Amino acid sequence: MHLASRFCAVLIAALATITFNASAQTVTVITSFPKELTAAYKIAFEKTHPGITLEILNKNTVAGMAYLRELPVGQRPEVFWVSAPDAFEVLAREKLLASVVDLKNPQVPEKIGSFPINDPQGLYLGQALAGYGIMFNTRYLKANKLSAPSEWQDLLAPAWFNHVGITAPSRSGTMHLTVETILQSNGWNAGWNTLLRMSGNSAAVTERSFGVPDGVSNGQFGAGPVIDFFGLSAKYSGFPVEFVYPAETAIVPANIALVAGAKNPEAGKKFITFTLSQAGQEILLQPKVSRLPVLPYRELTSKVPANYPDPNAIAARSTVKFDTELSAARYEVVLKLFDQTITFRLKELQAATKAIFEAERKLKGATTGSQEELLAQARTLAYTPLVDDKQISDVAFLKIFSGNKKDPEVSKAISQFESDWNARSKERYERALDLAKKAAQ
Amino acid sequence: MQRLGGPALAALAILGFLGLFLLVPIAMVFFTAFSDAQGHATLGHFAVFFQQPLMLESFYNSLYVALSSSLAAALIAVPLAYLTVRFQFRGALLIQTLGVLPLIMPPFVGAVALQLIFGRSGSVNLLLDDWFGVTIPLMEGLNGVIFVEALHYFPFILMNLTISLRNIDGAMEEAALNLGARGWRLFSRIIFPLALPGFVAGVALVFVKVFDDLGTPLVLGATNMLAPQAYLRMTQVGTDDPMGYVISVMMIVFSIFAMWLSARVLKGRDYSTLQKGGSALQQRALSKGESILAYGWIGLIMLLVLSPHIGVLLLSFASIWSFAPLPDGYTFAHYATVFEQSPGMISNTLLYCGLAAGIDVVLGTGIAYLILRTKVVGRQWLDWMASAALAIPGLVLAIGYLRTFRGVLVPGTDILFTATWFLIMIAYAIRRLPYALRSCMAALQQVHQSLEEAAESMGATRLRTIRRVVIPLMAGGMLAGFVTSFITAAVELSATMMLVTKESQAPMSYGIYLYMQSTSGRGPGAALGVLAILAVALGTFASHWLVSRHQRLTQLHRREA
């Protein structure tokens, strides 16, 4: 019984700590950033702000948004901090963000390229800059005799079949940005053509949002689309990887925002101010973090590593003008279309892609018109999006997807689209496979 | 009446706990799955489930993976069990070690490590490609999940089957031999059928465990399965999404169905043998050739079983490991990072699992006592309820908690109940209760009732008897139950992932998962994994030691008596 009573005492003490902990001031941050980054900020912030504890809540962008929506006012975390700018647009529309306009660091420039760094409405502020590009493993490339890619198109070549790794935009806010960048620079149909062909060359659609950089770092994949800091942090930590910005890239701010209805808004503001200060910006240059600061390099006292990317130069060279409004408007459709036609149908897409490459190889030189036609049909079937550019600009269509999911009618309509896309893409990939095989005969 | 009051009160208290943290949450899951937005009964969500090709495919994949993993685990376990029981050789100890090693590592950690060794660019494939120009797609897609799960869970079959084989009466074998059955025929017609109860119990357990596992498919990127779909639905669409609940119901139904089927297969047949105390199966010495074969097989399995451990160990010391059979260099830095950044995770694991195991032992002892020593009405129900927790996937229990306690505040504060770590700990306690309960039952069964009668006839009250006689005599078994609950809770991830709301609450299992989310975090994640494995290994060793010491002591008592 001694044991039991001692056990009860521990239980009570433990319950007491729950209550006690609440009275200390805490800032809770929802973020999708890796632990190296959040740990560095936690240590630095708590050192300069004694009495405030920084709590990190690691969730991917989409899960973080879902989590915020479900909490009542007064129970919400203070800070939302992820890469994807459109996530902030969505949250702002849902009135989940509070104004942070007075927390701006005046030394941060207004724009990067033509993109405003801070939200014009003052609901979120740029905290770091991020570009999207291709990360590749130099050892893998050498072993598989592949040449280093520099543009997205390079990853579509037959030589890259089964060597690419991608993730789904529904799992990773940064992948969604990459997808939007490609869609906006090529246009809807041509953009999906690139995406579908790149996915067809992929060995896997990784589940974890960090699956691609992780897979490239350890040599599972040769290359993959990632946000710059994944590539740079692996490179500067010593992995045999490189990172390139293609011309079709967008340099956009990774934002930080104050959540409306948070528990400790004042403490939350202190953290946001800290991340924008000179000390907070310099943390971004640590090798394991490797992000691009919003504060110009001349304002920083610590040394910028050699060959570190210059965001202004990349922005000047970039051919994309990123439209956040457009991206936010079709957010749900892009996520669901990608999942149903690529993530969940990868096997069929890979098989179709393989057959098309084989047919191309066989037909090279000696082609008859009908064979060429079959192959063209196969390509059209495999690489055309199931939602065309007319439908995606249809406001009524987009409205279905932004409806309230609790409404059974809405959720039924959406899942109807989902299962339809899923079934149709499977059928189309299988037909493409047949046609390509026929063409090769 | 006064005397009856105590046990009845205890039974009510246990019932209240199980009701609040097991029955109500599960009932909520069922209710949500079968009701529409207005709360009216509907089968509509299930109709949607069966209309979506993705859901059907996930369902089929989960079944396929669970069945194949059970089969693959059986292929590993059956020869090993047969070897230990049938033959005299020194490998038996090796096999026993083999039976514990996989269980001390969370399966998803094993998945990460196995990817480094058997994956597309893992050590084995790189070497094979170098030497022979071939690669084995062992870790691709569902194959990977099956491979990892089979390697992780085969000990369940091994342990159950070994016990069954040991219990077979040697006379049966002699009779068969007299009638001319030998070799394969003897094994397939006499020995294996007699050991079927243990085999079926083990296979059913593997099936249920694999069906419910979330971490492994997530780490390996196999999303077209039920558990990952439920998790993704709940975290990305929100806790209002009915599909998550429908998947949960499907998972519970199939877990219970598997358990029921395993009981059903054995029903109506008599596996008991008449005599007891007779000789067991004959143990033969191995011939030289057989010896080589046996050791070869054990060696191979040993290598496979140890490969995740080796992988994690290497990773935790590796400076850079990329597209090479072995790391480029070695460092202690990852361990330093873990101790600098995450000492809280280690203490969280100790705290949650310690409390959970403590609750389990208290409940387990209570239930065992009520069943074996009292006649409280409905006491058998407590046992069934507690054991039913075995068939409830951790993910589903967590979903039930989020639904049941949504918006509930901790009394006297403005903190959400779901935002505290209390529910994580309770989820562990409920999920591991069946293990502790079995240990406590076994321990109490070994205490002869005459000892208590003696104490009571000397004038001790019931409570005093329990405190001074029953508990001290049960102590070994209770401790073993504590340790079993503790170590299995320490590697649990499915419920943890749903219930953790802040990093400072994270136990080690979730911490490993979190670290493994970035390139430079793999090393610290592996280091944390090694620490977790060490802790669990120590615990396992302690529990074995306690059980065997207890058994020795009771045997000693009996002999003296």
Chain A residues whose CB is inside 8 A of the B240 CB are 70, 405-406
Structure token digits, residue B209: 């465990």
Q: Nearest Cα to B506, choosing from A199, A55, A94?
A: A55
Interface of B with A in 104-123 (CB under 8 A): 115-116, 119-121
B contacts of A166 (beta carbons < 8 Å)? none
How confident is the model at residue A20, as a pLDDT?
A: 47
Q: Is B457 on the interface with A (CB under 8 A)?
A: no
Most A-contacting residue of B322, B342, B410 (CB-CB within 10 A), to test interface: B322
| Contact state of A408 with B237 under an 8 Å Cβ cutoff | no
Contact A240 B413 (CB under 8 A): no
What are the domain boundaries of chain A?
A: 25-129+253-314, 132-249, 330-441
Cβ of A70 within 8 Å of Cβ of B238? The answer is: yes
The C-alpha angle B524, B530, B535, rounded to 5 degrees, equals 130
Fold exhibited by the domain A25-129+253-314: D-Maltodextrin-Binding Protein; domain 2 (3.40.190)
In A402-419, which positions are buried (b, 16+ CB within 10 angstroms) versus exposed (e)? beebeebebbeebbebbb
Give me B265's structure tokens: 């297969």
A207 vs B223, B467, B521: nearest CB: B223
The stretches of A187-282 forming alpha helices (DSSP H) are 188-200, 211-217, 228-236, 265-276, 278-282
CB-nearest to B319 from A218, A238, A418 is: A238
Q: What is the pLDDT of residue B108?
A: 81
**Contact present, B124 and B118 (Cβ < 8 Å):** yes
Q: Does A20 touch chain B (CB under 8 A)?
A: no
Enumerate the residues of chain A whose CB falls inside 8 A of the CB of residue B120: 203, 220-221
A173 touches chain B (CB under 8 A): no
Q: In this complex, is the C-beta atom of B321 within 8 Å of any C-beta atom belonging to chain A?
A: yes
Task: Provide, as residue numbers in chain A, all residues whose Cβ is less than 8 Å from the Cβ of B419.
Answer: 75
Q: Give tens-digit pLDDT for B76-134.
A: 888 888 887 777 767 677 777 777 778 778 878 888 888 888 888 788 888 888 788 77
- Chain B interface, mutation test: which of A12, A78, A220, A228, most B Cβ atoms within 10 Å? A220
Q: How many CB pairs under 8 A join A and B?
A: 187
Chain B neighbors of A234, CB-CB under 8 A: 519-520
Structure token pair of residue A312? 């202004």
Instruction: Specify whether the CB–CB gap between B548 and B483 falls below 8 A.
Output: no
Answer whether B236 touches A (CB < 8 Å). Answer: yes
pLDDT at B535: 81
In Å, how far is B391's CA from the nearest CA of chain A?
A: 27
User: Which of B354, B406, B501 is opposite residue A57, by nearest beta carbon?
Assistant: B501
d(CA B510, CA A100) in angstroms, rounded, equals 33
Task: List all residues of chain A from 77 to 136 with a beta carbon under 8 Å from chain B.
Answer: none
Say yes or no: B143 contacts chain A, CB-CB below 8 A: no
Q: What domains are there in chain B, each with its CATH number?
A: 1-30+343-561 (1.10.3720.10), 53-267+277-332 (1.10.3720.10)
Q: What's the average model confidence in pLDDT over A339-359?
A: 92
Q: Do A234 and B520 touch (CB under 8 A)?
A: yes
Predicted local confidence at residue B186, as pLDDT: 82
Q: Does B263 touch chain A (CB under 8 A)?
A: no
Would the CB atoms of A74 and B414 count as touching at under 8 Å?
yes
The number of angstroms, rounded, from the C-alpha of A287 to the middle of its chain's C-alpha atoms is: 21
Interchain contact A59–B (C-beta under 8 A)? yes
Instruction: Choose among B409, B555, B423, B372: nearest CA to B476.
Output: B555
A419:B53 CB<8 A: yes
Contacts of A207 in chain B (CB under 8 A): 217-223, 228
The whole-number pLDDT of residue B272 equals: 57
Is B235's CB within 8 Å of A63's CB?
Answer: yes
**In the beta sheet, which residues pair with residue A26?**
A53
The pLDDT assigned to A282 comes to 93
What is the number of alpha carbons within 13 Å of residue A123 lying toward its C-beta?
A: 17
The per-residue pLDDT for B1 is 39
Closest chain B residue by Cα to residue A416: B52
Which residues of chain B are under the pLDDT cut of 70? 1-4, 89, 91, 267-282, 547, 550-561
Residues on chain B touching A423 (C-beta within 8 angstroms): 53
- Partners of residue A262 in chain B, C-beta under 8 Å: none
Distance, CA of A27 to CA of A237 (rounded, Å): 29
Top mean pLDDT of A151-155, A367-371, B278-282 is at: A151-155
How far apart are the C-alpha atoms of B478 and B441, rounded to whole Å?
A: 9
Whether residue B165 lies within 8 A of chain A, CB to CB, comes out as no
Cα dihedral sign, B531-B537-B541-B544: positive
pLDDT score of A302 more than 80: no
Q: Does B434 touch chain A (CB under 8 A)?
A: no
Give me the pLDDT at residue B91, please: 66
pTM assigned to the model: 0.81
Q: Each residue of A105-116: pLDDT tens digit? A: 999 998 888 788
User: CB distance from B325 to chain A under 8 Å?
Assistant: no
Low-confidence winner among A148-152, A212-216, A336-340, B472-476 (lowest mean pLDDT): B472-476
B311 touches chain A (CB under 8 A): no
Q: What is the CATH number of domain A132-249?
A: 3.40.190.10
- DSSP three-state, residue A199: helix
Residues of A in contact with B407 (CB under 8 A): 72
CB contact under 8 A, B503 and A56: yes
Q: Report pLDDT for B551.
A: 65
pLDDT value at residue A405: 65
Collapse the DSSP code of A128 into the 3-class scheme (helix H, G, I; strand E, B; otherwise coil) and give the result.
strand
A41 touches chain B (CB under 8 A): no
Residue of B17, B46, B236 best to disrupt the A interface, most CBs of A under 10 A: B236
Do residues B406 and B418 touch, judged by C-beta distance below 8 A? Answer: yes
Q: Between the CA atoms of A195, A198, A199 and A205, what dihedral angle is there, to the nearest 10 degrees?
A: -110
Q: Which amino acid is at B108?
A: F
